[in-house]
Structure 1
């Protein structure tokens, strides 16, 4: 028995996940004292309540429903927490006068069950603070795990040896539970950091607000379907750590945008607002000083306004821009101006979109910023690949992507999926003021062409399209 207790203690301490730990605690304690059922309540100090969180029963299927009850003398669990004492009862339907509470028979009536013998155990942390209440129900004469067929014949009472065993384990359960709760709090704190990071990025780039969450949902759904499909992706299986890596990598994929200038991130026209206003003032000055006719002035204004839009620059507009770039004039103080200076001409001459080559490189640098920021976080062993994977959404299978020029066998499968999701969302997003959303059919055609060119993973793209995963979001 001592070896059995040591084995259980060792197993419990190794568990970090709260749900796994609590299920293991219940199962192991029920097994060692041969209890048919059991429940665990977690104590909330702020509200001084117990929350019903975990339950097991070998005889009846239980529809779990979380509820709270106060720490007082009016219920069995509440009394155990109030007194902070371990006790056992032979039959809750025949309570001794020393107990102030009455047994609530509602569960028994609804489930056709008969609660009889119980052990109640308060669980404390290392500082002797209450953190939980454990309840074991109906000690059996029959083998463990088998349902009770006769509550009169199969159920017996817990004895002093059972109480001694459970008590001997309560301390190690408290340590394990405290560690697990601490681990859970750290995870929740980190989840909060992730959400705050996404919010910080999107507050600097409100034009693409929602992009991060959408890319995460698309990526998650593709991976989820791949995980289910043993025929299309044999051997591809996700574990609990994999899902965390996927989540954090995807949600943080644009984190580096906090290192890119805000005006570049939010650039919706080829000229910045202050540049455009200054150019318009310069054109008015040219109009007055050179005394050009109104039609000519209107032509120049119309040219600048059209060229400033983020649409594809037509050859006719480009040629007209060339004619005006070398025009010079002087104001009344002899100061010389160029109608279109080099920077204005460079920006207005952008063939597609709004960004110059330098600005595009600055936007692309967000990937490197992402890596530089994330690599400073002391990731756990299971999450160590998050910084690398978060930076793979702009890599191409043929090595033509950025920022690291990775090739097919160097790109993690999460990165390959994220690349598909990122492009699909960028094409279909309806909230970009500088471009219209592309219809889904055209977006699928574009990513298919990218796959055929060796940029995106053909198998993943085909799977995304044939499964119609875009309709599952």
Structure 2
């Protein structure tokens, strides 16, 4: 009777001691749940999981394994031991590697000899009171560890980390549970095991969610790259642009964020801002996937499916042929040698004039920064020459449509084609604004959609002014222009040198087309030079005298 009463008193005392410990563990589990939901740093998260598990059970040490990508083995991740003062991480020390623990035997069967592999393969926890007296498992590695470090491994608790679908994430292993006072070694209790199983399950689900989010973000960025590949396949002359604008955008954004003086002293980029801006850079021209190839690829003013300057050349050949025929007919009528010489001289002058006009139109057919009004007028005058076509009909040398194209003031696109290519930003905005962006990416359309706006409100598609645009959108506008100025793969122009590009960009700043404060950072922090050294051909990188850059005050 007395023995029974003593056992009841002991059980009651243990129960009374366990109550506050359970409350403590529940609080730890709750705190870990909050950390799991907010922490995006997987390495620190895994270490935190092991430390909480060790503290929750008063374990002297613990080890965490992660399953390899192919699911064939357990990969050592981190190990802690208070008595030995041990902190071993997979990256510490450099050059030291711990072999993976295979989940299959050489014969292809499940590895059930190792406790960690057994838990991983069966999905069951293993709670051992004294490993030296346990049977069924191979503890040779543990015994070697004890001998090396003068340690005594006793109680073991090994718990598989499985997510909500039963997929293995890793294995959590704890060693040598101690009493609440930190003394002695005891077995891990059933309560210990249940709490660690709950922790392991919760942790596995959180890690799975993190990996899922990461994979979805990677998948989304891959879709973005897929769009750029599609644009590149349509036009290899824009693929490099879609690739390099994001890099230049981030370089200028970082420089602006680091600035602690001037108008941008308060501007700072968060990690969320950087992620949004990078995606916006990748997507800023996604609407070009709908732009007709003959517009995107228009290398010369008369190019559609082919360069029609060859047709104009043929007309000149007809004019020259007709001039020669008229000269021969005149000779037949004249019969006088002196008159023949005059006719030959006049023919030579006519042919030379035709060659000059043909060569001039060939040059006019090549796009440039600016076509002089006098050259535009000369195209119109040459167009009035008359020639006879294959049907015998007399026509002007150039049609109205050909005159319109050959007198394009800048570049190679006429007004209608310019409208078509400008529409890519409208399509870009429509595409991006149709997507259900999560909260942390909701500014991507605004960042991407502003790269053709101007600070004075004369840009497109919405005619926004500087005050109506975010700093990242204004950053992207500068990156877009500078990449285009320095690009060496545009079919309609030669690449500008570094100094030429800065001179042109400075003009945009003076005219309030780009943000002058950001342009100041672009030059002052030498963002242009960092970009040039990384992406430009060495022949483009010339000496830059910053004192001569328009719109910049050194």
TM class, shorter-length: 0.7 to 0.9
- Contact kept in structure 1, 2:32 and 2:49, CA below 8 Å: no
- Flag the structure with higher helix content: 2
Q: Spell out, residue by residue over 1:401-423, the C-alpha distance to the aligned partner (whole angstroms, 9 max, x if none).
A: 21111111211111111112122
Tell which deviates more after alignment, 339-348 or 432-441. Answer: 432-441
Aligned to 1:150: none
How far residue 121 of structure 1 moved from its aligned partner, in angstroms, is 1.8
Deviates more, 1:284-293 or 1:175-184: 284-293
Offset, 1:250: 0.9
Does structure 1 residue 305 correspond to structure 2 residue 367? Answer: no
Aligned partners of 1:322 and 1:78: how far apart in 2? 85
- CA distance 1:158–1:470, change in 2 (3 Å): farther
Question: Which residue number corresponds to residue 259 of structure 1?
Answer: 290
Shift of 1:258: 0.9
CA apart distance, 1:91: 8.4
Query: Are 2:399 and 1:341 aligned?
Result: yes
For 2:81 and 2:499, locate their aligned partners in 1 and report how far apart those are by CA, in whole Å.
52
Pair 106,159 (structure 1): closer, same or farther in 2 beyond 3 Å: closer
Listed as ranges, the matches of 1:217-236 within 5 Å are 217-231=247-261, 233-236=264-267
With over 3 angstroms needed to count, the CA separation of the structure-2 counterparts of 1:452 and 1:331, relative to structure 1, is: closer
Structure 2: stretches of 5+ with no match in the other structure: 1-21, 105-110, 327-346, 532-554
Between 422-431 and 153-162, report the one with greater CA deviation: 153-162
SS at match of 2:308: helix
Residues 372-428 of structure 1 deviation map (CA, whole Å, 9 limit, x = unaligned): 111222111221221121111111211122111111121111111111212221222
CA contact (8 A) 1:197 1:255 kept: yes
Quickly say closer, same or farther: Cα 1:38–1:340, change in 2 above 3 A: farther
- Matched residue, 1:159: 188
Please tell me the root mean square deviation across aligned C-alpha atoms, in Å.
3.7
Structure 2 counterpart SS, 1:434 = coil
Contact map agreement 2:253 2:475 (CA 8 A) in 1: yes
Which residue of 317, 322, 326 maps to 1:284? 317
1:179 aligns to what? Answer: 209
Note the C-alpha offset of 1:269.
1.1
Which residue matches 1:250?
A: 281
Q: Which moved more, 1:331-340 or 1:409-418?
A: 331-340
Residue equivalent to 2:341: none
Alignment of 1:308-323 (within 5 A): 308-311=365-368, 312-315=370-373, 317-323=375-381
In 1, the alpha carbon distance for the partners of 2:145 and 2:243 equals 42
Question: CA 1:286–1:255 in 2, change beyond 3 Å: closer, same or farther?
Answer: same
TM-score normalized with structure 2 length: 0.72
Distance of 2:460 and 2:391 partners within structure 1: 49
Distance in 2 separating the partners of 1:283 and 1:87: 93
Structure 1 unmatched runs, 5+: 144-152
Q: Select 1:359's aligned residue among 412, 417, 423.
A: 417
Matching of residues 47-446 of structure 1 within 5 Å: 47-52=71-76, 59=85, 60=87, 62=89, 64=91, 69-72=101-104, 73=111, 77-88=116-127, 96-100=134-138, 102-103=140-141, 119-136=157-174, 159-160=188-189, 161-231=191-261, 233-272=264-303, 273-289=306-322, 291=324, 293=347, 294-311=351-368, 312-315=370-373, 317-331=375-389, 333-446=391-504
| CA deviations over 1:109-156 (Å, ceiling 9, x no partner) | 99x99795754321223233323323446767899xxxxxxxxx9895
Relative distance call for 1:179 and 1:308 in structure 2 (3 A) is same
Farther-moved stretch of structure 1 (386-395 vs 462-471): 462-471
Alignment of 1:33 onto 2:63: no
Change (3 A) 1:42 1:263: farther
Of the two, which has the highest radius of gyration? 2
